[in-house]
């Protein structure tokens, strides 16, 4: 049974913001980002997490996605920003996935890894057929060390939660909604995210494109303060 793995995610109902101050640094524990997306498995224990922000600082969906038929098209194919992280999952005894374990409570270790946020102002030109070839996905505008975390599930890995931290390593400015934006100004120390998800709800296996299936994921992130 496939485990719902995630590495930072989110679904929020977002209205218009009166001001746009996304470049201003947020205080510790303030919400800085919300996002939604999913992951594509490349084997039984490895995969690629891909999500798109619904909120970044004070920028809401109106500024983060291309418009289709007069409204933001909320998916990775139309997102100006995408988060990408290769991951591995390691079952922890005695809380293994069924049928190796009789119980439904499961724990999975997701070891430390890396993550990148890509930006492009023409997201429809991204090529998704080969998930290892990311040359068309845009300019890397932020790089992170994704800290190790434990995925917890009470239904045998079909759904669960994952709190995880990402330390900002580097970033570069880019233009978003006509303004200069730099992630180091918003989250200079990185962010901690609280993720949840459900396995296999939107996409089945696609062997041709090296995709073992995936899951829907969602969550929110708060800023990490100095010295944390």
Q: What are the counts of helices (DSSP H) followed by strands (DSSP E) for the chain?
A: 2, 15
How many Å apart are CA 91 and CA 5, to the nearest integer? 12
Residue 136 in this model has a pLDDT that exceeds 60: yes
How many Å apart are CA 22 and CA 105, to the nearest integer? 39
Please identify which residue in the block is written with the tokens 């010295």.
227
How many Å apart are CA 222 and CA 28, to the nearest integer? 7
Percent of the chain having pLDDT more than 70? 80
pLDDT bucket at 199, cuts 50 / 70 / 90 = confident
Rounded to an integer, the average pLDDT of 127-139 is 95
Residues 12-65: pLDDT tens digits? 333 333 333 444 555 567 999 999 998 888 888 899 999 999 999 999 999 999
Closest C-alpha to 182, from 192, 197, 172: 172
Rounded to an integer, the average pLDDT of 107-114 is 96
| 3-class DSSP state of 7 | coil
**Would you state the pLDDT for residue 210?**
41
Where residue 180 falls (left for φ over 0; alpha for ψ -120 to 50; beta otherwise) is beta
Instruction: Name the phi and psi angles at 62, rounded to 5.
Output: -60, -30
Cα Dmax for the chain: 55
| Average pLDDT of every residue of the chain | 83
List the structure tokens of 36.
């939604």
First to last CA, the chain: 36
How many Å apart are CA 4 and CA 198, to the nearest integer? 6
Q: 0.85 cut: is pTM over it?
A: no
**Would you state the pLDDT for residue 133?**
95
Closest C-alpha to 157, from 49, 34, 53, 3: 3
How many Å apart are CA 181 and CA 109, to the nearest integer? 34
């Amino acid at each position: 049974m496939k485990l719902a793995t995630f590495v930072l995610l989110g679904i929020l109902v977002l209205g218009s913001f009166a001001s746009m101050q996304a470049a201003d640094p947020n205080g510790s524990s303030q919400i800085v980002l919300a996002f939604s997306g999913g992951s594509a498995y490349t084997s039984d224990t490895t995969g690629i997490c891909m999500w798109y922000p619904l909120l970044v600082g004070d920028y809401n969906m109106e500024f983060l996605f291309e418009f289709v038929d007069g409204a933001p098209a909320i998916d990775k194919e139309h997102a100006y920003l995408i988060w990408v992280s290769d991951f591995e999952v390691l079952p922890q005894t005695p809380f293994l996935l069924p049928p190796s374990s009789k119980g439904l409570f499961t724990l999975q270790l997701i070891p430390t890894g890396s993550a990148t946020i890509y930006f492009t102002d023409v997201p429809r030109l991204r090529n998704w057929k080969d998930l290892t070839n990311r040359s068309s996905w845009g300019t890397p505008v932020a790089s992170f060390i994704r800290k190790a975390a434990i995925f917890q599930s009470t239904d045998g890995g079909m759904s669960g939660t994952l709190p995880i931290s990402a330390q900002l390593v580097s970033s570069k400015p880019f233009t978003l909604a006509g303004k200069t934006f730099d992630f180091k100004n918003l989250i200079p120390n990185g962010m901690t995210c609280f993720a949840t998800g459900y396995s296999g709800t939107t996409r089945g296996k696609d062997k041709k494109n090296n995709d073992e299936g995936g899951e829907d994921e969602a969550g929110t992130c708060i800023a990490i303060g100095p010295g944390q």
